[in-house]
Every structure is written in structure tokens, then in C-alpha cells.
Amino acid sequence: MTLPSFLSFKPRDFSLPNSSWGSEMMRMYDHYNSQCEVETEGGEKQEGKWRRLPSYNRLLKYATGGLYLSKMIQSNARLFTRHIRDPGAAFEYVLFVNSEEQKCVCIFQAGHLLEGPPGHVHGGAIATMIDTVTGTHATVLSGPVMTANLNINYRSPIPLGSTVLLESSLDKKEGRKTFIRCRVTSTDGSKLHSETSALFLSITVSHLLLGV
């Protein structure tokens, strides 16, 4: 006898490796993942300096926000970066946080559905990953936030299909404001793709309910 599917349902964690991940994506994943748990001299396991963040389709099953949100939209809504079911076609990424150094890294493999300029990743898809990484980082540091400003300097285009590294660091916190910086580079750090400064404002649920 098996449980009814709604009882056994467990949301899929998209930040775990799948068959679409190329060798560079896997190499970088292993690099950070191996630092999430370390073995002491006595053979005991303890937390490492990095922590992998799981990733799901949505933050909430039913949205609290959007006063005029229709039932159809509520029930079908999916997180923008996880809306494609075909592995490898769009955003493949995993985030790791380092609380001690107040840093966050994201390994991002850009799929064939993210095209902007011929053969390269759309500037909006890059902005989407930057918003995701800096916004997640700001949330880890400051609790619920909304993006207030993204100032992105694009330095060199990213070929479709390639794997890049996003590194986010805390600039400063001032009251409700959290300032984050983010660099997108090749995985060996030799090529700079973009530099961003981002500002996030701490919010309460009422900000989303009232849309202000």
C-alpha cells in the first residue's frame, strides 16, 4: 500500500545536480559542496564554512500578495527562474552562502532558451540571476526584502551554454537598507562579465499586500 500522492508529495529541490549539468558546473558544485561539511581529526563531521541553499518553484504555495490576483494565476504561479521543466534548457544554478564572510556564490549554467544577442545570454536573464543571488543574499542577511535598485555594468557577453560564477558580498547595512555588490565572472575568475551594485529594502507582508 502506498500513501496518496498529496501526502507523500515532497517539493523538488532544483539546486541538486541533474543530468543536464556539464563538467564545469559539476566541478564547481563539488568544490563548494565539499566545504559544506568537514571532517575533524577525530573523524567527526561538522558544519563547514559554506552552506548550500535549496531552491523550489515558489516561496509560498498560495501567494499572499496581489490584491487582484485571479485564482488561475495563484494556482499556476511558478518562480520565474524555475519555471522551465526541461533540465538544462534555461536557468541551472545553485547558491552557497558563507555566513562568516557574509558572502554568497552562485554557479550558473545558462541554457539555450536564454538567448538575447545571437549565441549569447540575454541581458535580462543575467539581470535575473543577479537579482536572484543578491536578493537571496540580502534576505539571508536582513530577512524579507524587496529590490529597490539594480545598477548593472555589463562588461562582456556570456556565450549560451556556458557556466559562470556570481559572487555577492555585503557592502553595508543602514536601517532598512542592505547594499550588496555582485560580480559575474568566468569560473576561473579570469574574465569579468558584469559588475553590479544592488540595494534592497526590508519589508513586511503588508508591503506586498498593499503593493507599496
In our burial notation (b when 16+ CB lie closer than 10 A, e otherwise), range 190-209 reads eeebbbbebbbbbbeeeebe
Quick check: 153 binds a second copy (CB under 8 A)? Answer: yes
> With contact defined as beta carbons under 8 Å apart, do 50 and 104 qualify?
no
Chain centroid, CA 10 distance in Å: 20
Candidate segments 26-34, 35-43, 55-63, 100-108, binder of a second copy by CB under 8 A: 55-63
Q: Is 168 helix (H, G, I), strand (E, B) or coil?
A: strand
Instruction: Tell me the DSSP string of 85-107.
Output: -STTSSEEEEEEEETTTTEEEEE
Q: Which range touches a second copy (CB under 8 A), out of 11-19, 42-50, 71-79, 173-181?
A: 71-79
Annotated catalytic residue, options 13, 30, 131, 171: 131
User: Is residue 26 a contact residue for a second copy (CB under 8 A)?
Assistant: no
Contact between 151 and a second copy per CB under 8 A: yes
Question: Applying CB under 8 A, does 152 fall inside the site for a second copy?
Answer: yes
Give residues in contact with a second copy (CB under 8 A). Answer: 58-60, 63-70, 72-74, 76-81, 83-84, 89-90, 112-125, 127-132, 135, 146-154, 156-157, 159-162, 207-208, 211-212
What positions carry a catalytic annotation? 131
